């Protein structure tokens, strides 16, 4: 039986997506067919739309999603029809130079196939109505009613967590909370600064709280986001359009500087602030990003004194371990996800959702599929 379904297709950068009928390929042995129930609109998708992140087109965007497994290939492991799953955008081979060193985010096959916009085996799983191959963003392409992924990308989570909240775990929450919990080296009582309070930054605030930070300084230029940050665990908010975050950090620490800075704003100015705000020997984690061809400059003295800087893409995610843990944290009341959702929209409203994201009006818009 041929599966046809509706998906939002980007044919050219800086143009709206069109919702059209596409055709899915037959499942390969390790494939999983997922009926998408919710998909978040992320800044990475927006970068592809605007052309600052370059992929082959046409393409189905979307990489932050949750749904129900409808069918699995004969060799698929650890997932079965009926499972509620959160999707991971970091499949990995498990045996290359980097996988052997416990760095799946640097997997050679993942990095080699990713820019091609294909499935992990290098082939397309979807076609346009005229039969031409359709690319998929980050091995997923979740702005559609269905998605075919490899078995390692479909991570079962408790069925009690609603799909629109579960989908956030797949990217923004994993990236922010994971950076704090897995990589920030936050010790009990540390002073942590989070720069940028979008979905990733607010997840980082919560991760710092869960890690036992004694003080959490949230920095943004939007007062409403600082209010949200306070609700999620920030002990102080700094409006960077009016006040100096570096000064605030030094005042909190007796002039020393903060122990850990988690950057989630994605601007050259924010990257510079991280190096000025952290104490000697402190830890800087960069989560945000700018155009890969842009330069960022620093005052050399800000990089001295044994400061440690790490760029992180996915919060050191180990999805089969972390996704269920984060889902359970939500169900136990320890992780706030409802407040991250600004709007729930339909697939036909996807372009309006990205326009609102570009204007800075939303934390997360989530496409909800019936």
User: In CATH terms, are 4-156+337-368 and 176-311 the same topology?
Assistant: no
Count of other CB atoms within 10 angstroms of residue 1: 4
Q: What angle do CA 198, 201, 202 make, to 5 degrees?
A: 80
Could you read off the pLDDT of 79-90 as tens digits, one per residue? 999 999 999 999
| Strand 236-239, strand 59-60: pairing | unpaired
pLDDT for 357 beyond 90: yes
The predicted structure's pLDDT at residue 255: 97
List beta partners, residue 39. Answer: 65, 367
What is the reported pTM?
0.95
Q: Which pLDDT band holds residue 290 (cuts at 50, 70, 90)?
A: confident
Percentage of residues in the chain having pLDDT higher than 90? 96
Question: Does the structural domain 4-156+337-368 have CATH classification 3.90.180.10?
Answer: yes
Average pLDDT in the chain: 96
**What is the 8-class DSSP label of residue 131?**
S
What's the distance, CA 235 to chain centroid? 24
Could you read off the pLDDT of 230-267 as tens digits, one per residue? 999 999 999 999 999 999 999 999 999 999 999 999 99
Q: Which pLDDT band holds residue 361 (cuts at 50, 70, 90)?
A: very high
Percentage of residues in the chain having pLDDT higher than 70? 100
The predicted structure's pLDDT at residue 293: 86
pLDDT for 1 beyond 80: no
Could you read off the pLDDT of 7-38 as tens digits, one per residue? 999 999 999 999 999 999 999 999 999 999 99
DSSP string, 137-178: GGGT--SBSEEEEEGGGEEE--TTS-HHHHHHIIIIIHHHHH
Q: Which pLDDT band holds residue 157 (cuts at 50, 70, 90)?
A: very high
Main-chain phi, psi angles of 304, to 5 degrees: -85, 180
CATH number for 176-311 (one of 3.40.640.10, 3.40.50.720, 3.40.50.1780, 3.90.199.10): it is: 3.40.50.720
Check: CB of residue 34 under 8 Å from CB of residue 170: no
pLDDT for 41 beyond 90: yes
Could you read off the pLDDT of 291-346 as tens digits, one per residue? 888 899 999 999 999 999 999 999 999 999 999 999 999 999 999 999 999 999 99
Q: Which pLDDT band holds residue 158 (cuts at 50, 70, 90)?
A: very high
Q: Which pLDDT band holds residue 199 (cuts at 50, 70, 90)?
A: very high
The predicted structure's pLDDT at residue 45: 97
What's the distance, CA 77 to chain centroid? 25
Question: What are the residue ranges spanned by the domains of the chain?
Answer: 4-156+337-368, 176-311
Strand (E) positions, the chain? 4-10, 18-24, 31-40, 59-60, 65-72, 84-87, 126-127, 133-136, 146-150, 154-156, 191-195, 215-220, 236-239, 258-263, 278-286, 308-311, 341-345, 364-368
Instruction: Tell me the C-alpha distance between 17 and 163, whole Å.
Output: 24
């Amino acid at each position: 039986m041929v599966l046809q379904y509706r998906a939002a297709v980007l044919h050219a950068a800086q143009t709206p997506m069109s919702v059209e009928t596409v055709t899915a390929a037959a499942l390969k042995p390790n494939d999983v067919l997922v009926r998408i129930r919710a998909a978040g609109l992320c800044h990475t998708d927006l970068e592809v739309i605007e052309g600052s992140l370059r992929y082959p087109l046409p393409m189905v965007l979307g990489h932050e999603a949750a749904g129900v497994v409808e069918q699995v290939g004969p060799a698929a492991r650890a997932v079965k029809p009926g499972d509620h799953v959160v999707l991971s955008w970091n499949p990995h081979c498990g045996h290359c130079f980097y996988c052997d060193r416990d760095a799946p985010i640097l997997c050679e096959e993942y990095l080699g196939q990713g820019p091609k916009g294909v499935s992990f085996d290098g082939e397309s799983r979807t076609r346009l109505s005229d039969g031409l191959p359709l690319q998929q963003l980050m091995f997923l392409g979740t702005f559609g009613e269905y998605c075919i992924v490899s078995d390692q990308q479909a991570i079962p989570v408790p069925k009690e967590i609603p799909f629109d909240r579960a989908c956030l775990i797949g990217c923004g929450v994993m990236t922010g909370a994971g950076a704090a919990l897995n990589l920030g080296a936050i010790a009990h009582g540390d002073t942590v600064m989070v720069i940028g309070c979008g979905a990733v930054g607010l997840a980082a605030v919560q991760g710092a709280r869960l890690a036992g930070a004694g003080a959490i300084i949230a920095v943004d230029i939007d007062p409403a986001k600082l209010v949200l940050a306070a609700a999620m665990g920030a002990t102080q908010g700094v409006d960077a359009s009016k006040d100096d975050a570096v000064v605030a950090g030094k005042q909190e620490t007796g002039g020393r500087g903060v122990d850990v800075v988690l950057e989630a704003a994605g601007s050259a100015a924010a990257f510079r602030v991280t190096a000025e705000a952290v104490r000697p020997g402190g830890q800087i984690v960069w989560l945000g990003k700018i155009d890969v061809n842009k330069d960022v400059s620093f005052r050399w003295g800000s990089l001295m004194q044994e400061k440690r800087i790490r760029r992180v893409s996915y919060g050191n995610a180990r999805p089969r371990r972390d996704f269920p843990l984060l889902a359970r944290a939500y169900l136990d009341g320890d992780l706030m996800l409802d407040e991250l959702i600004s709007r729930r929209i339909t697939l036909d409203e996807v372009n309006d959702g990205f326009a609102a994201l570009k204007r800075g009006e939303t934390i997360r818009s989530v496409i909800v599929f019936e």
